[in-house]
Structure 1
Amino acid sequence: MPTIQHEAIVRLFYERPQLAAELLAESLHVRLPDYDHAAVESGDLTEVTPAELRADSVIVLSRERADARPEPVLAVVVEVQRDRDPDKHWSWPMYLISLRNRMKCPSILLVICPDPGVARWSRQPIGLGHPGLVLSPLVAGPTDVPMILSPLEAAEDPELAVLSVITHATTPEGPDILNALLTAVHKLDPERGALYADMVRAALPHKIWEHLENLMQTETREFLSDWARDNVARGKAEGLVEGKAEGLVEGKAEGKAEAIFAVLSARGLDLPDDVRSAIADCSDLGRLDAWIRASVTVESARDLLDI
């Protein structure tokens, strides 16, 4: 079953499809064709096989044409791999074949591996049996994901900064990478910043987050989920640009509810009236906090009521 960390990384590519092209070109030094757009396509790859095949994400690079629809020039299967799974050596080639057939353009496999051991395993060539046909997955492991230490760089590419935090959280540079992201999200649109803030907070194991938080200057930084809750709810972004806590309101129930609404809205999820009412009427602060964390990854707003 996918973990919160897995879903958070997948979400990054939905938020910014260009991230796949950046990793391929800048980290893995893959020469890409000229293109104008990067867009998310359906990850359902069952068209040519009877078994269900679904990739974590599919990104298609396309080129504009004057007299026709944009032409796909490269299709990228993005897989987030956290553990060794021998079945992937059978399914990954099928992903590429199915996607190539559907898009009528070259296809490529990009595997994101936060764990170095899993990254080494994922790089193993996959022989397809036919002479000369060998799939060598392109893997972005910890050595390929850059350490984003500058708040300016993090603000320019917050999706890569989120991936950098998740990938390098346990390294000595972890606190500085997190600090750069904290500063950067404060400068983003409040709803977008809240989405990435809670995404990182939810994706990191509690012990790792607590260790990083203890190493930082906590008097001028808040927990990411606290920032999402209070800053989005009350719109106090200006004070947070300088990383200061003054001016934030207390975490009252109505503020927590508004933060949940903001995150769901930023993710484009429909919010039925009965679900909105249930959240707005809730006075259990602990349950509201749980809903804030879950709102980053749930498939529908209604799923929150089951938590």
Structure 2
Amino acid sequence: MLHQGILDLFREDPWLAFDLLALPRPSRGRPVDRQGIAEFDAGDAHVSVRQGLPDLVLVDDESDNDNTGAVLVIEAQRRSDPEKRWRHPFYQGAMAARYRRPTWVIVVSFSRAMSALLRSWSEGPPPRVDALVLDVDSVPPVLDPNAARERPTAAVLAATLHAQVADIRATHVALRAIRHLEAPRRRRYTAILMSAILKHQRSELVQELIEERYIDEKEDEFLAIERLSGTYHLGHEEGREEGRQEGREEGRQEGREEGRIMERRAVLKDMIIALLEVRGLPPSRTDEAHIRGEDAIDTLRTWAQRARHVPSPRALFERASDPER
């Protein structure tokens, strides 16, 4: 959830990195999500960069002038990944060739080791990594309540970075700053903030939310986190829309029933991942793919219960039943 939440902040506020780093915006337009797809010809070879390689690609290409506009390749890194030494230059070159615009790589790094690698790759033998790095050392915490209210995206991003080093001062400020926002947006920001908190500080934050009347103190802590995280609401809405589409296309009872099943699956998968993250056990890409690839409702329910107490994401799958689908 933290990874996806960070990308959503940039979809909402594309120039966030430039403003946080006090750099001039490279264009006057508003970059929009192009879903990371690039196709271009290189001589006789056709090269395709498919969705899912760069985490997010935002493009401002409204002008006919190739020297104006901008392409923003955005990556969120929770762990050190030496493979990005080779991928980031490729992303930058591929997107520049596709859109024929100045292209920036922006990395939100939650790992000081990853940040150190990125900076070291900017020097030495080619290909060099030319990236704007947003991390705990380059982005100061937003501690001014007025500034946090004026730009909640910046407040939330800064808070998540500093929460990774156990500094949740900015998280407290951000939580107060977003209280005036409409409920769906407030829930989404709260989910991002919650997923960034270290395990040993979770109780402190939940207690603050109780005192701030975000939740009823009689609620179970994890149920409160589930509700606050927005995963139920998000999964419910996504599943309901899938159900509507299925119903329109099929026009039969089977379509409506399949929509309800898809809704339950979406809710359970998001809930499992959210529970692991707020417990300080973010699943690896392999484990998340395992969760999202599971379609058996009974298995997902079992995993949702286990997610409250398992010692690791991998333990989620041990001795899981394999009921009929």
TM-score after normalising by structure 2: 0.63
SS in 2 for 1:49: strand
User: Per the alignment, do residues 51 and 196 of structure 1 end up closer, same or farther by CA in structure 2, a change over 3 Å counting?
Assistant: closer
Letter in 2 for 1:220: E
Instruction: Provide the residue aligned with 2:316 in structure 1.
Output: none
Paired residues of 1:126 and 1:136 also in contact (CA < 8 A): no
Structure-2 separation of matches of 1:103 and 1:75: 7
- The question of whether the paired residues in 1 share the 8 Å contact of 2:108 and 2:134 is answered with yes
- Relative distance call for 1:17 and 1:58 in structure 2 (3 A) is farther
Runs of at least 5 residues in structure 2 that lack an aligned partner in the other structure:
41-45, 244-255, 283-287, 305-325
Against the structure 1 CA distance between its residues 70 and 123, is the aligned structure 2 distance closer, same or farther, given a 3 Å change threshold?
Answer: closer
Partner of 1:213: 205
Q: CA deviation at 1:171?
A: 5.2
- 1:40 and 2:38 aligned: no
State the match for 2:133 in structure 1.
139
Change (3 A) 1:123 1:288: closer
Residues 127 and 8 (structure 1), Cα distance of their counterparts in 2 relative to 1, 3 Å cut? same
CA contact (8 A) 2:58 2:71 kept: yes
Partner of residue 263, structure 1: 234
State the shift of 1:144 in Å.
Answer: 1.6
> Is contact 2:85-2:129 (8 Å) kept?
no
Contact 1:264 1:271 in 2 (8 A): no
Aligned to 1:56: 55
Number of residues paired by the alignment?
A: 260
Contact 2:118 2:129 in 1 (8 A): no
Distance 1:185 1:194 in 2: 9
Matches within 5 A, 1:1-307: 4-14=1-11, 16-18=12-14, 21-27=15-21, 29-45=22-38, 47=40, 49=47, 54-62=53-61, 73-124=69-120, 125=122, 129=126, 134-169=128-163, 174-210=167-203, 212-213=204-205, 217=208, 220-221=211-212, 227=214, 262-264=233-235, 270-272=241-243, 274=257, 290=271, 293=274, 305=297, 306=300, 307=304
* Structure 1, unpaired ranges of 5+: 231-244, 282-286
Distance 1:154 1:143, change over 3 A: same
In structure 2, the residue matched to 1:235 is: none
Shift of 1:170: 5.2
Checking the alignment, whether the CA contact within 8 Å between 1:113 and 1:119 is kept in structure 2 is yes
| Distance in 2 between residues matched to 1:303 and 1:156, nearest whole Å | 42
| Displacement of 1:303 | 7.0
Cα distance change of structure 1 residues 266 and 59 upon mapping to structure 2, 3 Å threshold = farther
Deviation at 1:139, TM superposition (A): 1.2
Aligned partners of 2:263 and 2:237: how far apart in 1? Answer: 18
Identity of aligned residues (%): 19
State the TM-score, normalizing by the size of structure 1.
0.66
SS in 2 for 1:180: helix
Secondary structure in structure 2 of the residue aligned to 1:84:
coil
CA RMSD of superposed structures (Å)? 4.4
Residue 239 of structure 1: aligned partner: none
Contact 1:8 1:203 survives alignment (8 Å): no
Q: 1:219, CA displacement in angstroms?
A: 5.6
